[in-house]
Structure 1
Amino acid sequence: MYYINKVSLYNHNNMEIAKTIIEQIRYADKWALMAYGSSNFIALPESKEYQGGLQFQVNGFQLKGTVRIQLKWIDTYSITFINKTEEVIKEVEDVYCDELISILDYIEGK
């Protein structure tokens, strides 16, 4: 089980979205989060563009930094890869849940 930190603008829906993202990743590949060296999970708040999301730290071969997965109102994800100097390295829009692992494998250089 992964522990998700609560954000200051926490509400029940934010936590459910973050948990669902983790479940979708684990369903596709139960070892992926461990392989990415994932830690410090944070539920992201709702905004004008997003219903909520999940942010976590990774320690992969290709990326050592932060991954932000945000659920758009049209039910697709936006995935942002951020390095340790907080520079956006890669952004992928309109990702469906069954594509999460193939996009997240960028962390491992696949």
Structure 2
Amino acid sequence: MESTSRTMEIAKTIINQINYADRSALMAWGANSFCAISESKEFEGGVSFKVSGKVHKGWIKVCLRWVDDYTIIFINKNREVVKTFEGAYCDMLVPVIDWIEGK
């Protein structure tokens, strides 16, 4: 039970950080189907969501690394990783995703 609440807490924190940086970002990316990512050897947790932006259509995974930064993974509709951005901090989430989106 403890790990489930921690997993949800991390996912909600990431969504809140994105909303804090830009209230309309998630809407602009067409974000939906949010899913918390469980702890692993590589990641403390994270969140994934489906997007239908201008450039990237598929999924975005924002994973919190144990060293307290994020790895952002872009996955296309064929479930192939098309781009990975490592070493992002919370204030970089929106600019990095916008950059991949071609804004």
TM norm. shorter chain > 0.5: yes
1:17 match: 10
* d(CA) in 2 for partners of 1:37, 1:93: 23
Structure 1 partner of 2:57: 64
Unaligned runs of 5+ in 2: none
What SS does the corresponding residue of 1:85 show, helix, strand or coil? Answer: coil
Deviations 1:42-100 (A, max 9, x none): 00000011100000000001100000000000000000001101111110001000111
Query: 2:7 is paired with a residue of what secondary structure?
Result: helix
Q: What is the TM-score normalised by the length of structure 2?
A: 0.94
2:82 — aligned with what? Answer: 89
Q: Percent sequence identity over matched residues? A: 52
Tell me the TM-score normalised to structure 1 length.
Answer: 0.89
For the aligned residues, what is the CA RMSD? Answer: 1.0
Q: Could you tell me how far apart the structure 1 residues matched to 2:91 and 2:54 are?
A: 23
> How many corresponding residue pairs?
101
